[in-house]
Structure 1
Amino acid sequence: MSSLAGSSWEDLRKQARLLENDIDMKLVAFSKLGMSSAVTGLNSEAMPLINSEDMFDTMSMELQQLLNKLSSLNDKMGELAPSGPATMHTIKRHREILMDYQQEFSKTSARVIARREREELLRGSSPPPSASAGLSRRDQYAKEANHLHSSHILVDEQINIAMEAREHLTSQRQTFKRIQTRFNDITNRFPLLNSLMYRINARKRRDSLIIGIVVGICTFLLLLYAFH
């Protein structure tokens, strides 16, 4: 109050406007913080990375001090206000703004206090959480990240194995083609070998189909296990 004693009407009015703008912005953040604190409180088993409860209490004390300061400014303005209807209207408007801010502040505070009391009652009637439930959110994220990293390594290994198997099968197919070309040359010279070549080709196609099916099933099962 001593800092306001030597202030004029216009100085007090400017200070009130600046203080009202500051309170208005802080009330918006205060309300959002109260809602985020309520959402965090729904899952008491997971500790938040930032303690929004402490932030809410700190901002509550700061807002209460600002509201008290604005109330003192309004009282001082009423004492120094020059006579006239315009001045009276200005003082009334500042007091109405202060009342709106106080109501919004009280409403948000009461909502958070009621939610905290409800959580205390529920916490008192529920059994203590298990060790696994006590993991922090950061620990859970780290555990999930390690699991994903291990899965990626396993998938890469299986893809490399599949590519090596594919190269091996391609090499075998080329070898079979060369052998088939030689046999075709022989069968052209010896027609009696056509029946034997037909059976050999049928067995080769059957073996290739079986190998391809087995490799495909193994690759699918490994990928399914890795992403399970």
Structure 2
Amino acid sequence: MSTITAPWEELRRQARTLENDIDVKLVAFSKLGISSGSANINSETAPLINSDDMFDTMSMELQQLLNQLSSINDKMADIAPSGAATMHTIKRHREILMDYQQEYSRTSARVSARREREELLRGGSPTPPAAGLSRRDQYAKEANHLHSSHILVDEQINIAMEARDHLSSQRQTFKRMQTRFNDIANRFPMLNSLMFRINARKRRDSLIVGVVVAVCTFLLLMYAFH
């Protein structure tokens, strides 16, 4: 047990350290995204790319930290000692990672949208490239922005798939409950009317959930290819 516990505790310590670092950087990352946007709005002569260099640098650092935390979580799951408490710990670390990824994606998407609006506003009167940045550099930054948007869409799709799996699990639970109710109804015929109303409501709820999932998927696809 000791040969397993030592690496496990070390990975937990690393995960907590990374989580603290990411939490601090995410706060600064969000504030930097807002301040850089305000600076560009107040100063028409400030080039967009230069004013956002610090934001892009912090974005890359955060992405690396998130990747490291994801790798550590996977290692923890591989060597985790058996037990309910251990499973709860792994689940909690993964939930924290998902929250951080969503916050990072929201801030990146917000800044990317702001940059696109400012580029459109400047479309009628082109400005010279920022000093020290070639056209290739600008294309590379634009490719990074598109890559960030694709990552955001992929993460939203993963969230939708997790929600679908959760709904599937609930469906299996409902099936087991229905089987039990059927057994009871066979013993007590007066419950048949109650079972009919329950089944009707379940079909209605399933239809509503299906419509909501379809609408969300359609909106995500429209956003991704807009």
Report the TM-score, using the length of structure 1 for normalisation. Answer: 0.50
Change (3 A) 1:119 1:44: farther
Report the Cα distance in structure 2 between the residues aligned to 1:52 and 1:119, rounded to whole angstroms: 13
Q: State whether structure 2 residue 107 is matched by structure 1 residue 108.
A: yes
Q: State whether structure 2 residue 80 is matched by structure 1 residue 59.
A: no
Report the Cα distance in structure 2 between the residues aligned to 1:126 and 1:116, rounded to whole angstroms: 16
Higher relative contact order (CA 8 A, sep 6+): 1
Please give the residue correspondences for 1:136-147 in structure 2 after superposition, counting only pairs within 5 Å. Answer: none
- How much has 1:44 moved relative to structure 2? 4.4
- SS in structure 2 at match of 1:42: helix
Report the Cα distance in structure 2 between the residues aligned to 1:56 and 1:128, rounded to whole angstroms: 21
- Deviations along 1:162-193, one digit per CA (max 9) or x if unpaired, are xxxxxxxxxxxxxxxxxxxxxxxxxxxxxxxx
Report the Cα distance in structure 1 between the residues aligned to 2:11 and 2:99, rounded to whole angstroms: 20
What is the aligned partner in structure 1 of residue 26 from structure 2?
27
What is the aligned partner in structure 2 of residue 37 from structure 1?
36
Report the Cα distance in structure 2 between the residues aligned to 1:79 and 1:122, rounded to whole angstroms: 51
Report the Cα distance in structure 2 between the residues aligned to 1:127 and 1:17, rounded to whole angstroms: 47
What is the aligned partner in structure 2 of residue 78 from structure 1?
77
Report the Cα distance in structure 2 between the residues aligned to 1:128 and 1:52, rounded to whole angstroms: 15
Contact 1:34–1:112 (CA<8 Å) still a contact in 2? yes
- How much has 1:41 moved relative to structure 2? 1.9
- How much has 1:89 moved relative to structure 2? 0.3
Give the CA RMSD over aligned residues: 2.1
Alignment-mate amino acid for residue 91 of structure 2: K
- Deviations along 1:61-106, one digit per CA (max 9) or x if unpaired, are 0000000000000000000100000000000000000000000000
- How much has 1:126 moved relative to structure 2? 3.8
Alignment-mate amino acid for residue 117 of structure 1: E
- How much has 1:43 moved relative to structure 2? 3.1
Number of matched pairs: 122
Please give the residue correspondences for 1:136-175 in structure 2 after superposition, counting only pairs within 5 Å. Answer: none
Report the Cα distance in structure 2 between the residues aligned to 1:59 and 1:38, rounded to whole angstroms: 15
- How much has 1:127 moved relative to structure 2? 6.9
Report the Cα distance in structure 1 between the residues aligned to 2:37 and 2:116, rounded to whole angstroms: 12
Please give the residue correspondences for 1:198-213 in structure 2 after superposition, counting only pairs within 5 Å. Answer: none
Alignment-mate amino acid for residue 12 of structure 2: R
Report the TM-score, using the length of structure 2 for normalisation. Answer: 0.51
Alignment-mate amino acid for residue 76 of structure 2: M
Change (3 A) 1:112 1:13: same
- SS in structure 2 at match of 1:8: helix
- Deviations along 1:5-52, one digit per CA (max 9) or x if unpaired, are xx700000000000000000000000000000110121342438xx54
Structure 1's unaligned 5+ residue stretches are 1-6, 130-228
Report the Cα distance in structure 1 between the residues aligned to 2:72 and 2:101, rounded to whole angstroms: 15
Alignment-mate amino acid for residue 95 of structure 1: R
What is the aligned partner in structure 2 of residue 94 from structure 1?
93
Alignment-mate amino acid for residue 101 of structure 1: Y
Provide the identity percentage: 79
Q: Which has the larger radius of gyration?
A: 1
